[in-house]
Structure 1
Amino acid sequence: MSDVTVRSLATLVGTPVDKLLEQLAEAGMSFSGPDQVVTPTEKIKLLGFLRRAHGRSEAAAADAAPRQITLKRRKMEELTVPAGKGKATVNVEVRQKRTYVKRAEIESPQDDEREEAQRKLAESQARNEAENAALEGADQKRRDELARQRAEEEAAAERARQEVEEAARRAAEETAVASEERPRRAHDADEGRAPVVRREPAPAPRSDKAARPARPARGGGRDNAGGRTGRGELHLSDAGSARRGAKKRPTRREAGRGATGSHSFSRPNAPVVREVAIGDSIVVADLANKLALKGGEVVKALFKMGVMATINQSIDHDTAALVVEELGHTAVRATDTDAESTLIALTGEIQGEVEPRPPVVTIMGHVDHGKTSLLDYLRRTKVAKGEAGGITQHIGAYHVETPKGVISFLDTPGHAAFSAMRARGAKLTDVIVLVVAADDGVKPQTVEAIQHARASNVPLVVAINKIDKSDANPDRVRQELIQHEVLAEEFGGDVQMVPISAKQGTGIDELLDAILLQAEVLELTAVRDARAAGVVIESSLDKGRGPMATVLVQRGTLKKGDYLVCGTQYGRVRALFDESGQQVQEATPSIPVVVLGLSGVPDAGDDFVVVEDERLAKDVAQQREAKRRETRLVKQAGNRMEDVLAQMGQTDGQPQQLNLVIKADVQGSVEALRQSLTALSNDLITINVITSGVGGITESDANSAATAKATIIGFNVRADASARKVIEANGLDLRYFSIIYDVIDQVKQVASGLLGKEVREEIIGVAEVREVFRSSKFGAVAGSIVVEGVVKRHKPIRVLRDNTVVFEGELESLRRFKETVDEVRAGTECGIAVRQYNDVQPGDQIECFERIEVARTL
């Protein structure tokens, strides 16, 4: 524990400063004032004085010592027992348990206590002996059982051996009889006699008087049936021999080869009608497998119906049902017997006692307004020092144990992940704390945070930070927030506004009281003793640990070893880590933890649920992946401007919606584009601008476009790397323009149906300026490296600074060392001179593009 002052110690223990100074003086320590430091030794001395003053002695601590101790011992032994003709070794485990009582308890001066201790000792000894005897009896019983099992196994083996020997003896006798019969039959065949049938003598009865064997008839005369007897043999007549030969028994191979009989295969005469279960969509190849047909036949049937689909494409339920009925089968809706339905049934059956849970608070606000500094003060660490440049690069999830209670905090960088979670429909937070700097006022990201809170229907608490600065003006912040319909309680509104200082700690207790007051109004509860369920806050792939996901438990208790399914990923929890990197065994509701053991990296905003076993988790994950693949294949674009015209007239006169996201370099261009494009709406199409702003296209803009299926228009601005990933993943329509009339013309052509040809600008290469050199011939020469594509000398270029176009023109010169070249590819350094532009700076990007004509298609 670090040194603290008298004042902070009094605040910690809840005692007035004057009273604490008196107690220190009574303990023999003199302090001059409340700001003097109290060392740990002086704290221990004060604690001993207070114990003595309240009547507690050293002997009181000894009363808590254990009065008896129980020792357990386990010993492994090997026992040899006879087994058949040999011996077998059996492992025997002997367990012993002894209880020792404290001698002071036995040798107590009081007689009744001594007798009681002796009685306990005797009972413990008797119990130990009984347990040892029971263990030995169990071991002996186990040895007897093993010996009995071995004896039974040997007896069974002996019986099997005798049966095998008996079968071999009978086979040998039959072989010998057959060898004797073969030459005799051959001799009879030579003389023209019928074959001889030898009959086995009947078995003799087991009695004292044995039956005598019947003697053969003497003489060679014929009997009444026409048979001949002689030499103790019975011969068949010629007619009987012929009849016997005609009814020859077929061999085993001939019997198995027979085509007629009760077990032979008969081709069905009626066609087989199958019931095919079809979901919302199905791949043509899967439909062919269910119909037991080749994929080409299903594709041919689709072509006859006017549907052009390949074997790897997906079709909707109605189209698949028509194909099934056309091919003579019956189509039924897929039943809810899949793994997803089983998971829903399991999660719906969760019952248990509802308990209060801590609130989940999201810290939002503009850059450098003190969001992370506020969390630093709350949890007594310095996260900002570990971030690049003091700016938060990822979501931080922490739970803080304050004197007012436990609160979980989420720190979001630029609200990008928060937007992604809201786009997926995940409600993650209970209260939003909006941090606004008192010396800076309301900024664009402050307004964006207010929009997020209003869209998510989450209560808002405003923390007016940096009130310790000389130019701080909290009233100005309150006035500016009124313009965005955020009215403070002082002005008759419902939003709590707390002035704080994240550096000095001023107003932090009032902020915590405001948060907990909102939590009490919301009455936040959750079931603790149940299977865990929650939301993924962020995820990453670590080289040493594999997939890692930071999750927030919303219900139940997440434990180490649980099987869980998380979006399209599944796995078993191998380890849980808290925000400080320490391993924990479980996580209760509203507590964020890092999970290891998933099969892959889930997406931010995915739900996770704990299931019974790994098989169900794997089935659910695979089914979700298959549904996502089918949705991606059957998904129509719907957000391209050309597709809007193609869908006109398919909604029974309802106008189509064309949503746009507009980002431009200046505010004037934004307003001009907004007014010009919305004025193009007519009876067939309605143009809506859902989001507009100044600056480059960010990940938040891309997520908003993905949610509304909107087309993104960039006017003299570009999308950053994170935004391009979202655009590519969702297949969004992104278009760059530099002339406002081109934007209006394209939208107008789509709205009026006059598509014609389209001139598009395709970026073929981007070079990053590393250094700028001055030349007497060319002026400013940019020493650059090509980072994407290829830069060509005869193509137009643009100069970008912070993703904003600052110049458009063409190249004056493109060189490699001292030679002029026509093109430079990615990863290669070059010198670029821009014609009629000498303000190139290190860090700028030179974008090379070409204009191409593309015929529009419906």
Structure 2
Amino acid sequence: MSTVTVKQLSEIVGTPVERLLEQLKEAGIAVKDPDQQVSDSQKMQLLEHLRQSHGASEEGAGKQRITLKRRSTTELKVGSSTGRAKTISVEVRKKRTIVRGASQGAATTAEIPAEPPAAEMQQVSEASSADTDVMTNKSALLAKQLEEDRKRLEEARKQADEGKLAEDQARQEQEELKRAEAERREAEARAKREAEEAELRREQERAKAEEAKAEKAKPKAKPGKSRGDRDDSAARKELHVASDKRGRRKGGKAPARGRGAAGGDAASKHGFAKPTAPIVREVAVPEVITVAELAQRMAVKASEVIKALIGMGVMATINQSLDQDTAVLVVEELGHTPKVTGADDVETHLEAQIEDDQREQAPRPPVVTIMGHVDHGKTSLLDYIRRAKVAAGEAGGITQHIGAYHVDTDKGSVTFLDTPGHAAFTAMRARGAQATDVVVLVVAADDGVMPQTIEAIQHARAAGVPLVVAVNKIDKPEADLDRVRTELSAQEVISEEWGGDTQFVPVSAKTGEGVDALLEAILLQAEVLELKAPFDGPASGVVIESSLDKGRGPVATVLVQKGCLNRGDILLSGQEFGRVRAMLDEGGREVTSAGPSTPVVVLGLSGTPNAGDDALVVADDRKAREVAEFRQAKQREAKLANQQAAKLDNLFNHMQEGGVQTVNLLLKADVQGSAEALRDALQKLSTDEVKVKIVSSGVGGIAESDVNLALASQAIIIGFNVRADAAARRLAADKGVDVRYYSVIYEVIDDVRQALSGLLSPELREQIVGLAQVRDVFRSSRMGAVAGCLVIEGVVRRGNPIRVLRDNVVIYEGELESLRRFKDDVNEVRVGTECGIAVKNYNDVRSGDQIEVFEKIEVERSL
């Protein structure tokens, strides 16, 4: 056998190189390098040494056994039914036993590999050597066999590596073929889609050309197929319609062969294209938002949001609310851009939607409110107009019990509001709703001007609405038109016959005399006002009244002011919202749309809104819900703010906050003389800076209408020898209106004078407190320049501002940093006493300077 190196011999016998070198040294063989050659004689010498070192002798050598062992460990990854790979350690042991005997003439070695079967790969395999070979004393045969085994092992490993490499290469080639095939199919599908789209475009162009030819040849369209139908068919051709297995489109015929073949294959492909990059969205984050809504705004699953929250250490459910900061962190974590929105953004968006109205406007009918004293014929006049005009004409609208209706005349339409008294009219104006264009003041010709007539004039004047006076009951013998004109002139309502600007129309609700003239006067006044509104787009209006119907739920009468209200729109009104399920006219018949100045009954709101609430059509249900919930949350704050608006004691605070500069008063007295005296005396208290405004003055007790007027005008009610009734007291307590009772006129004047004095800005004056003379200046590492002073006037106090004077000229104005008497800090030093003064942020104090201590005082001004 040829020689081998020490390293190769160590691999053959399974002994570490270092151990083998030590054994060779002990056997007397001069080998030091693992790469040094070992001959056969040296191997025999090593074998003889090892045998002797283990106590063997020549006599017992014939029965001695030499066992060679080899162990190798590998790891295998085996897949399981659960989908997770499992790692198994496999240990292979090889054992060779050599028996030396004198009678054997040949020696052979047997290698028993302990390769485990597949069923036993989870356990460590053990190799067993069942057969032993008998060897002779010739160790050359043993070494040769060992060398052959090593070569076979290396060859087997090499073949295994080559096989694995070939397998990997084959796998890569197969994957490349698959990718190439997929790219080819994708290119073919793309080409087919482009061909189909081109074919559809050509068909559309041909259809348009044929349509143009048909229109030129025949101007009128065929009754069987309109232009809109052709447009709809053309629009349907542009859509990518999925096809069934035979290539036919759903609902259509199979494509023609040849030219349409490619289009048929392309039609079977869906039009969705996988995005190549993540989509970054701008997510609006309010102050409070739920996990589900946040996930919806980011177009991700709620589980992704919950997973991000868990990663941040927050355990949340799908319905849990998140604060704004946490929601912003989640949005940024998921790769989107957060947009922080404030609490008032929802209202600001709606206001911008109303203000930025660029729609085309057209003339609209006027909205008229009829007001007047009790028993002056308001209801009779409305009944006659409704019976004579609505029933006889083609006019639609709402019956009287609903609260609004409109009539058609030869010169146009008129919409009437039947408000239940002045309280509703004022409440609507107090909520910011301007629903009325013209007020018709009904005055009885035999009764003249009465207290509620004066109230109606005041309400119309406060709302800035023009008046049309209807003098009713002219058919009575005691009717006196000049008396009515005279009494109304005292209220600054002068008729056109007397040189004024108010139309007076004599009417009779019993005979119908003058009703047509009244309608003409109303339309003339509307023509002067030039009333216009957009008729297209989302509607907006005002709620006239609402109720809870037992069979239909919440019912609201809405007067449309802009746009067109359609059935199915999402309507938001105050704190209520909902989808318009139905709209009813005067006969209970359903209508599908309503334009400007048209009152309709709306069904489908979540509750009953207040009279005077704005009604607005919004884009979606979610937006309406968000605004409604925001308004409900702000209801209490708004109520508290309204309660403080008309408090007499808070008028000065309002002035500081840029609020009112005028005291609004509503006077009610026991007699007319007292009311006039109070009005004149209080108006004389007005100056250029503050003014007294008498909103209304009258005779009698304080009624509920007076409280509503005071609430709308932010006025204070003064009752002189009169009291409020129960309903007025409850309303005043609920709305926070300030009601004051007096019995002496001078007390009224004094309280109002004090309120006006509180509105005057106070006068600021400076008063010198003390004066100190600087005698010497000392330097301190902590204080800087410290002036040694003598107080020559008044008192020097630490907290007051100071001025440094040099030759009676102010060179610095600031404050004291330190005031000491000897080593003690003191708060003040009186005249004739020495002290140490350190001026804050100023070190240029010199001997001979004077330090002036002063204070600012506010002097209250009075009328």
TM-score normalized by structure 2?
0.46
Rg comparison, structure with higher value: 2
